[in-house]
Amino acid sequence: VDPASFPDPIVLLDMIEERLRASGVYKDKVTRKNRCIRLFFDKFHLDILPACPMPSTGLYGEYAVVVPDCDADDWKPSNPRGYAKWFDFMAQEAIIRFMKSVEPLPEQQSCDELSTLSLGVQLLKRNRDIVFENKPKRAPISIVLTTLAAQNYHGQPSVSEAIAAVLDGIVAMIPNIANRRLVVLNPTNLEEDLSERWDDAPEAYLDFVSWIREFRDQWRQLIELRGVGIHKISAVLERMFGERITKEVVEEHIRAYEEPRQSGGLAVERGTGLIVPATVVLSTPIRRNTFYGKE
């Protein structure tokens, strides 16, 4: 699409929506969004986003585009393809830097390591959904959280360490000057302010600041609970991420320990009381639970 052919990009969205509503297959699935036409299916939705190539400055700027924006009634800069490439790069590059700093770089990184940032982003968004359940219009949008997380991830191998670093980093980025907000630019198209909606909704920005600081404090408290018992940790996790997800995770955690325990693979480390593999020196094996008083 050539933007010069559609000086009013909303006309282009109107044409796409009209064509879809004329279809017997899609007419009941169509919803107009600010920048796209969304088709709802049983288990997923599909966004149709018309875009015009418009290379820009920034990483992967060759993929930059302009897209329709109903609120602005104009074309707005964006770069969805470049952003996806940037996020993957940030996740992998941070891990490589971390590994080089602690030990020789292995020949190949595992999939689990490469997913740490993505898992951290999922937890960040899950807590956001819980906290803003009753005021969803004030919730920070996912692209802002994803960008901030990627910018503050430094290759930590565990999700726990990664989230701690991300939250500390985001809090440190918040300006301490009155009437100034955190500006989150699209790193692949510096002309796009991903956080621009905070200009018209300062109360939403204040809610974001309050939430991210509270989440940071809660995460620190959660880390301090290590070793105090799964029931106490579960109570905190339920408040942070919801009862259903917490229950599923705790049950999976218990199964992960129960299997090696029954096979004699777990022990208690002397002096620390930590549960460790039975092969660790100076540890006492944990007996298999037979439920009838004998081994």
Residue 163, class by beta-carbon neighbours within 10 Å (0-12 exposed, 13-18 middle, 19+ buried)? buried
Angle between helix 80-102 and 116-131 (nearest 10)? 120
Question: Cα(226)–Cα(231) distance, rounded to whole angstroms?
Answer: 11
Catalogue the E-assigned strands of 109-243: 185-186, 189-193
Q: What is the pLDDT of residues 105-153, one digit of tens each?
A: 444 444 444 478 998 999 999 999 999 999 999 999 999 999 999 999 9
Q: What is the pLDDT of residues 3-32, one digit of tens each?
A: 777 788 999 999 999 999 999 999 999 999
68, pLDDT greater than 50: yes
| Beta-carbon count within 10 A of 98 CB | 18
Q: Report, as an integer, the average pLDDT of 249-266.
A: 65
Task: Give the residue with greater pLDDT, 83 vs 92.
Answer: 83
Burial 112-127 (b: 16+ CB within 10 A, else e): ebeebbeebbebbbeb
Band of residue 195 on the pLDDT scale cut at 50, 70, 90: very high
Q: What is the pLDDT of residues 206-236, one digit of tens each?
A: 999 999 999 999 999 888 887 666 767 778 8
Can you give the pLDDT at residue 5?
79
Closest CA to 98 of 156, 166, 150: 156
Band of residue 163 on the pLDDT scale cut at 50, 70, 90: very high
Percentage of the chain exceeding pLDDT 70: 78
Can you give the pLDDT at residue 114?
46
278, pLDDT greater than 90: no
* Mean pLDDT score of the chain: 84
**With a threshold of 0.75, does the pTM exceed it?**
no
Band of residue 260 on the pLDDT scale cut at 50, 70, 90: low
Q: What is the DSSP string of 12-26?
A: HHHHHHHHHHTSTTT
Can you give the pLDDT at residue 95?
62
259, pLDDT greater than 80: no
Q: Report, as an integer, the average pLDDT of 81-85.
A: 94
Question: Cα(262)–Cα(265) distance, rounded to whole angstroms?
Answer: 8
Closest CA to 157 of 212, 107, 119, 213: 119
